[in-house]
A and B are shown apart, each in its own frame.
Chain A
Amino acid sequence: MKKGIITVLGKDRVGIMAKVCTYLAEKEINILEINQTIVSDYFNMMMVVDLSNSKSDFATSVDDLDAIGQEIGVVIKLQLEDIFNKMHRI
């Protein structure tokens, strides 16, 4: 399984999740887990996704999600999960 972490940070508004999830569905990227908080109007979301069957390559998805983020005024990042595992797990 090729796991990625998507983070969304920015001012809350209608349709952030919808935008991200629509994109993921189009590319057949499966959502494994979602974790989300809103602190004083600030939207903070983390998603664990499985990219094993993704129809686009990883770097393209990074760019696509970044573009979607810019369109709706939030920062969206897709990163391989390993960077977090390596840093926070012994």
Chain B
Amino acid sequence: MINIYEVNETNNMIQNANLDVRTITMGINLLDCASSDIKKFNQKVYDKITKKAEHLVKTGDDISKEYGVPVVNKRISVTPIALAASAITNGSYVEIAKTLDRAAEAVGVNFIGGYSALVHKGMTPSDEKLIRSIPEALASTNRVCSSVNVGSTRTGINMDAVKLIGEMILETAELTKHADSIGCAKFVVFTNAPDDNPFMAGAFHGVSEYDTVINVGVSGPGVILKAIEGCRGADFDTLCEMIKKTAFKITRIGQLVAQEASKRLGVPYGIIDLSLAPTPAIGDSIADILVEIGVEYAGAPGTTAALALLNDQVKKGGVMASSHVGGLSGAFIPVSEDQGMIKAVQMGALTIEKLEAMSCVCSVGLDMVAIPGSTKATTISGIIADEMAIGMINNKTTAVRLIPVIGKEVGEMVEFGGLLGYAPIMPVNQFGCERFINRGGRIPAPIHSFKN
């Protein structure tokens, strides 16, 4: 029988350490909406999403109330639109983005992901049409998130797509410059993108999935932080054991919520994503955990090792707590969404180059990094290519979500609001890479042996 101390421990995590389930994301297959006419397609898409996700928000809220644990976000991911819409012969894909936006609003979810294309080897006409429509799609919708997978360990990196995306990011920034280029916060470029990621902006419903599926993203940096405060001065063995045990407990909550949501909605349960996802709230920071482990600020020497051990212990504890683990599953290191990261940048401890190194040992990459709006498209593409190469060679997911803020320069602050937080503009290496980006073609797939 459960005792009073265990009950208090759980409730303390919820009340004082920001324990929550970050998202219940319903994946919805849109391949069966295919049509050559964009109007018909949009109607089918709207009908399917609003029918399948009709009870999603209420179910999430009910579970939250009955178990007494916050379920922060309810979201939807759909089949990459470049695939689902590829039969369309008329109209602009921006209309599809607007349809997704309307559907998301109708069912009450705050984000819908899947305005996406998978181009890690080559681009179909539909892929290219979608990528070129991203700036306008993100500027004319509020809830739609977009992603493009440009590389994989099996196929290499599609550098034509990388080049195009650098240009699209700048254009998105320009079109949303009235709101600190916020359009770019809803777009992410991937290598080795998972099919079942419940987290935005990169969520989409992969083609190997069920017709509809429930994926759950857990969180809990605050809980890990509180737990390891009790290990100050202890050796690594003690520290790692504590992180592992705490991650187990956090993940069990996610597993419970996922199973319950799946049962109540009559939709198969897909995966739990073990990611530690920070929020701008005080005490809900990955950077603070790194500081507690022992570095002065995130970015100081030792940071990559601290992050590596954190990420690995979270997985070790989490894997046993859940029957199916998937998605991104790693510590997120977004800058604007993490109070400690913002502070580290302001102190001069954290640079883009160090973030890049950190992304070698955790998910997901250069996330929510604000850079000067005057940055060249080729430089953005160069930064993307570097991050993609890390993912490709190391057989892991990496991503880039950069926000070139039009009209702002290094040191100025940019405010995105809500979960997206705020960030100081970070300096970018000023040396050029035009010749590299303008080559075009593909970087070949890496060798899978001789791993040194």
- Report which A residues bind B (CB closer than 8 A): 5, 7, 33, 35, 37, 44-46, 48, 58-59, 62, 77-89
Contacts and interface: CB of A to CB of B under 8 A. Distances in A.
A62 B3 contact: no
Contacts of A89: 2
Contacts of A82: 67, 256
B57 to A, nearest CB: 15
B contacts with A: majority SS: helix
A88 B2 contact: yes
A88 B10 contact: yes
B257 to A, nearest CB: 9
A87 B252 contact: yes
B66 A80 contact: yes
B1 A62 contact: no
B7 interface: yes
Query: Which 9 A-B pairs give the minimum distances between C-beta atoms?
Result: A79-B68, A46-B4, A83-B67, A88-B6, A86-B252, A84-B2, A86-B256, A35-B4, A87-B249
A84 B65 contact: no
18 contacts: A35-B3, A44-B8, A45-B4, A48-B2, A58-B66, A62-B65, A78-B68, A79-B67, A81-B2, A82-B256, A83-B67, A83-B69, A86-B253, A86-B256, A87-B252, A88-B10, A88-B249, A89-B2
B1 A7 contact: no
Nearest to A78: B68
| Interface core residue of B7, B10, B66, B252 (most chain A CB under 10 Å) | B7
Given A83-B253, A86-B255, A88-B10, A37 B66 contact: no
Interface residues of B, number: 21
A59 B59 CA distance: 12
B11 A7 contact: yes
Q: Which of A77, A78, A79, A82 has the most CB of B within 10 A?
A: A79
Interface in B137-188: none
A33 B2 CA distance: 10
Contacts of B66: 58-59, 62, 79-80
Contacts of B6: 84, 87-88
B18 to A, nearest CB: 16
B62 interface: yes
Interface string B388-426: 000000000000000000000000000000000000000
Interface string B227-255: 00000000000000000000001001101
A62 to B, nearest CB: 6
Contact of A77 (B1, B11, B252): B11
Given A59-B62, A82-B256, A87-B252, A37 B67 contact: no
B68 A77 contact: yes
Nearest to B255: A86
Contacts of B10: 83-84, 87-88
Interface in B90-109: none
Given A84-B10, A87-B249, A37 B4 contact: yes
A70 B255 CA distance: 32
Interface in B9-56: 9-11
A5 B2 contact: yes
Given A33-B1, A79-B68, A84 B62 contact: no
Interface string B194-211: 000000000000000000
A5 B255 contact: no
Given A58-B66, A79-B67, A84 B253 contact: no
Contacts of B253: 83, 86-87
A86 B3 CA distance: 13
